[in-house]
Amino acid sequence: MKTSFLAVGVLAAATVAMPAQADKLDDIIASGTLRCAVVLDFPPMGSRDADNNPIGFDVDYCNDLAAALGVTAEIVETTFPERIPSLMSGRVDVAVASTSDTLERAKTVGFTIPYYSFENAVVANEKVEMATWEDMKGKTVGATAGTYEAIWLEGKVKEWGEGEFRPYQTQADVFLALSQGQLDATVATVEVSEANVKSGNFPGIKIVDKAPMVPDYVALITLREEYGLINYMNLFINQQVRTGRYAELYKKWVGEGEPANLTIPGVYR
């Protein structure tokens, strides 16, 4: 009898204790560590330095978030397909992993507001006179065949009715052709363009302007039901931009120039 009384007591205590359960935000603060999933083969967002320590925009962003929460950050290396499973299986608290905020993914995980956006830049040969992206009109342009940029660029050439579009097999081929003067201009993501200009492997190229394509907005993700944490992270992203830390990180990891605008004109959130 005594045992059954005890069992009932424990059960009752458990039922009463349920609603007062702490959410993930409390758990993170209580445990003193924030576990972030970061993709480390995706420079400049995530990679490793010569001592094999994680570095990159996402790594710094996770460290900032941990500092804001007053806890220490733990970088958990993930691959792109493993980001959501690692969240669901409780291996990480949040993913700071350049996750595009698709509606399909939002059925499974909770997105914050965008913390970064991948924009496309127009890169031209230095000998070609160009000031804005519209100066590509009538020029010989090219891009990696089949990519989003290539489809957009080919469409523009058709729309203008002058100039020429050339498809290439790889991104490196495009930049080589640009550097040698076979191409006047190309369109590539800002990150790739900055890295190629910086690397010095392709002399004689310059970034002209940003291309007016819909940017790829990426957000932080956590479990769908963790509203407290999502709310906190939304404010955190806002503060990062407000305090200039976002621009600072952009300058550190991507390059000079204006960091991508994180607001979408004409709509809330």
Partner 1 sequence: MFDTALTRSDLIFLAQGAGMTLIVTAISVFFGTILGIVFGVIRYQIGPWWAAPLTFVLDIFRSIPLLIQLVLANAFVTTVLGLRISGFTVACGVLSFYTAAYCAEIVRGGIEAVPQTLRRAARSLGLTWGQDMTSIVLPLATRVALPSWIGLALGVMKDSALVYIVQVVELLKSTQILITRLQEPLFLLMICGLFYFLISFPIARFGGYLEKRWSND
Site residues, partner 1 (CB under 8 A): 27, 31, 33, 40-41, 47-48, 50-52, 76-77, 89-91
Q: How far is the CB of 45 from partner 1 (least distance, A)?
A: 14
72-78 sheet: strands from edge to edge: 72-78, 33-39, 94-100, 216-223, 109-118
Q: How far is the CB of 264 from partner 1 (least distance, A)?
A: 34
23 or 126: whose CB is closer to partner 1?
23
3 or 53: whose CB is closer to partner 1?
53
37 or 187: whose CB is closer to partner 1?
37
Q: How far is the CB of 197 from partner 1 (least distance, A)?
A: 22
Q: How far is the CB of 152 from partner 1 (least distance, A)?
A: 30
Distances (CA, A) of 234 to 98, 110, 214, 248: 15, 11, 22, 19
Q: How far is the CB of 33 from partner 1 (least distance, A)?
A: 7
Angle at 214 between CA 211 and CA 215, to 5 degrees: 85
Closest C-alpha among 166, 167, 164 to residue 139: 164
Q: Cα–Cα distance between 1 and 125 in angstroms, integer?
A: 87
- Asked whether 142 and 165 are in contact (CB, 8 A), the reply is yes
Distances (CA, A) of 165 to 47, 125, 147: 34, 15, 13
32 or 155: whose CB is closer to partner 1?
32
**Torsion angles phi and psi, residue 43, rounded to 5:** -65, 150
31 or 169: whose CB is closer to partner 1?
31
